[in-house]
A and B are shown apart, each in its own frame.
Chain A
Amino acid sequence: MGLKSSLHNLKEKYKGTKMAPAFNAIHTFLYLPNETTHGGTHIKVADDLKRTMNIVIMAMVPCLIFGMFNAGYQHFLVLGEIGRAEGFLDVTFWNWNNLVIGLQKVLPLVVVSYGVGLAIEFLFAVIKKHEVEEGYLVTGMLVPLIVPIDTPLWMLAVAVAFGVVIGKEVFGGTGMNILNPALTIRAFLFFAYPTWMSGDKVWVHGAVARDKAIAAGENLDAISGETVLGALAQGKEVAYSAWDMFYGIIPGSVGETSALLILLGGLFLIFTKIGSWRIMLSSVLGALAMGLIFNAVVSSGWITESSKFYALMNTEFWHHLLIGGFAFGTVFMATDPVTASQTNKGKWIYGFLIGFISILIRVFNPAYPEGVMLAILLMNVFAPTIDHYVVQGNVKRRMKRLKVKTA
């Protein structure tokens, strides 16, 4: 008896009982069910919610794998055991040792994220007597990619529980949420445990543990790895070239560093028509616009080097696309179909403001070195309002046209 038929039998056995949604979910996750509908004509679409989600996950897998290698690479680099990688294909980066560290640190994050999140989804499905909703599949993959490598697992578990319950289930589950659940989880971590989410220790595996060992009296050198944004916010020199930033061989959250792989993922999403190219493009335009404004302010001499915003404002406008989590947020989180604007015109406004506000927060608020998380959450809240006015504008225009015709 194959897996499919045993899953089917299991589902039939539990039909009508309390646990039925859980077994249905497992069955349909792996296979297309055999059941056919009776009576009436039905159109069958292959890209249901689960398969849509799977495509987004596929787009993120390169970032995940890259993140694992990068975790090990940054670790060994600050320890001084390897030299700096030159270019994207350097063997010092694509190295077995790097991957081992990455696997050890990243896989537990993935397991905890999915384990806790799906457990809550199953629990709520059983309580609400609904089918299990697939919304967590993407969130569960996003979460490990947007947290620092050394995030303690229990913190992640608490944050995931909070994000899924408060960010999504209280609003009625998948499709009803106002805020992006993955960003809710990250925002919770950020405000609850700020020491684990910012600074120059958390981005490199081992730096926090090393600090503790030193505090306990061991004779070791402290190690640290600052993100590009962290260095800029403090007015320090940035030690990475634009190509480094583009390839992603820089410290940062697990999967958000490589603009190249995010770009490929974004193109994949646009090609498969899962992600909205309008949001991605307008968000990039918004960021560039804000970057240009800041560059203009600097070149017109309104601000001098003594200002604490000088380093960030003086950053070349297109560099903003490569550093921090901007690219990742734009491609994978701003485009979340549930929380983004639904109308085409609305998507342009929504995306543009995300880019614009991201860079604004990034430059003017040193307490929040990365603005894209807050910008997307803010625009999530405004998305329904934007849609409302776009639709009303449309109605008004058509009414006017009608009046001209009839008059």
Chain B
Amino acid sequence: MKRANPWLTALLAACSLTVLIPLYFTVITALKKPAELAGAGFDLPDDPQWANFAEAWQVTNYPQAALNSALITVGAVILTLLTNSLVAYAIARNLHRRLFKGLYFYFVSALFVPFPIIMLPVIKQTSLLGLDNQLGLILLYVVYGLAFNIFLYVGYIKSIPRALEEAARVDGAGTWTVFWRVIFPLLAPMNATVGILTFLWAWNDFLLPLVVLSSPSARTLPLVQYVFQSQFSTDYTTAFASYLMALAPALLVYLFAQRWVISGVLRGAVK
């Protein structure tokens, strides 16, 4: 074994500053008084203004936006895991049939359809069906996620030996039971990957909530930042406090689940 390279470590650490500096800047700016903003603004605040957070909390109605974002994200992740894996299983086990093979390409080809084509029809439809709300968004994430998730799941399921299913079937289990009892648990690693990707998508998305949601009370965290951008006006300290609060939940989740998140993404790539 060769020893670790200190120079390379230092170089990478320096590179990682490009990631950390904007975050540092967001934190200190959120804590400043407006008068401290002059110049480059990388110095620490003299007297941290925690009131900025209270102000942003109240102006943007943070609890509601955070609750909306959380509901939509959790709903989208759970429903995606349950349904997309099921569809992928049916397709993966029947890829030799022309119908299912066609279905596979049909779903995956949606990856290349730019959202603007369907934007207005989707706005119309969701509203017509009374889905211009959080529930509708959950549904859209689940449906639009099919394209990429089926691609991921099918690749993974193909690598699961059929012998396991055969054994269960011999014991008299039907296809449903086989899926829920045998396959779904085996999918756990890929479920983690899909869950993480869906979480990041639904939590950070901007365009879909922008056009789909009607009621101001349904707004998600990124949408709220957009809506209040003009109201913050030049009150940059409150604006940054609000940005930080909007970024914080995903950051915290990531900090605690870091290894798990990265290994999940790694697995999705190796598949």
Q: Do they bind each other?
A: no
- What residues make up the interface of A, taking CB atoms closer than 8 Å to B? none
- What residues make up the interface of B, taking CB atoms closer than 8 Å to A? none
